[in-house]
Amino acid sequence: MSSTPSLCLVIPCYNEEKRLSPAKFAEFAKSLAFVFVNDGSSDSTSSVLAEMKKTCPGSFHVLNLEKNQGKAEAVRRGMLFAAGEPALSCIEWIGFWDADLSTPLSEAPPMLDFASSSSAAAVFGSRIMRPGAKINRSFFRHMAGRLFAFLARLKLNAGVYDSQCGAKIFRRRHIQAAFSRPFQSRWIFDLEIILRLDGRVIAEYPLSEWNEISGSKLMSLSSMWGIFGELWTIGSSETGGKLSDK
């Protein structure tokens, strides 16, 4: 791969000092650029990120938010920062990725190749359980995810198999359309992104590996009611056209 990265990944971080893996990010520092968004962490995440930036100053960028904003806003701010940062201006694709690396970084290069060969405005990672793929996901989270996808299709005509996977990349020219305005929702801002893309082609990339990481709050019992509640209100101030998963 070229020494100049073609993909920048935004990594939202909130109290991630124990789960961040500097070595794994450094392994991909020559082929990928990263923007780590410290979302007002109360632990030592900021110190960890500062040390990481020292090791790879050209590839690691850090955006510190003074107080915790939540994942949706951290991702939004990070995406806009990446799109406006002069040092990253040559990068065509900008995306976001979960800090715990439930989607391994090894998935990013083939996902980028897939995206670059398509006409898609965005490519979403998709956790499809199929022969040859290592998708390690609990039965509860899998079934909750399928129920959510069914309801999202029913309510919003969101024709995407796996809207909630935390691995997504976007062509630079569509960043403003998707991220210029704050999101309504805390948990399912991914659906707002789909609505904002307003008929632009969204492709799905079937991941070869995804691992459920302990400690994740998403799709936990404590958040389920909030997630499904947001689904029924998310479309009230968004206008979307026909959604495409092709």
CATH code of 30's domain: 3.90.550.10
Based on the domain organization, do 77 and 109 belong to the same domain?
A: no
Average pLDDT taken over every residue of the chain: 87
Contact 231, 155 (CB under 8 A): yes
Residue 10 to residue 74: CA distance in whole angstroms: 9
- The domain boundary, picked from 62, 84, 101, lies at 101
For residues 209-232, average pLDDT? 68
Tell whether the model's pLDDT for residue 139 goes beyond 80.
Answer: no
Q: For the segment 36-54, what is each residue's pLDDT rounded down to a tens digit?
A: 999 999 999 999 999 999 9
Give the residue with greater pLDDT, 239 vs 107.
Answer: 107
Contact 179, 140 (CB under 8 A): no
Based on the domain organization, do 200 and 119 belong to the same domain?
A: yes
Based on the domain organization, do 3 and 116 belong to the same domain?
A: no
Residue 115 to residue 94: CA distance in whole angstroms: 11
Q: Which domain holds residue 170?
A: 104-246
Quote helix, strand, coil % in the chain, to nearest 5. 40, 20, 40
Identify the burial level of 56 via C-beta atoms within 10 angstroms of its C-beta, where 0-12 means exposed, 13-18 middle and 19 or more buried: middle
- What HEC string does 209-222 produce? EEECCCCCCCCCHH
- The domain boundary, picked from 66, 101, 136, lies at 101
Based on the domain organization, do 244 and 206 belong to the same domain?
A: yes
Based on the domain organization, do 13 and 81 belong to the same domain?
A: yes
Q: For the segment 142-166, what is each residue's pLDDT rounded down to a tens digit?
A: 677 777 767 766 666 667 888 889 9
Q: Output the CA–CA distances (angstroms, integers) from residue 40 to 37, 71, 230, in the order listed.
A: 9, 11, 24
Q: Give the global pTM.
A: 0.87
Based on the domain organization, do 109 and 217 belong to the same domain?
A: yes
Based on the domain organization, do 18 and 128 belong to the same domain?
A: no
Number of domains in the chain: 2
Based on the domain organization, do 49 and 18 belong to the same domain?
A: yes
Based on the domain organization, do 5 and 96 belong to the same domain?
A: yes
- The domain boundary, picked from 101, 135, 165, lies at 101
Based on the domain organization, do 76 and 132 belong to the same domain?
A: no
* In 1-117, alpha helices (H): 22-27, 45-55, 71-84, 108-116
CB atoms within 10 A of CB 1: 13
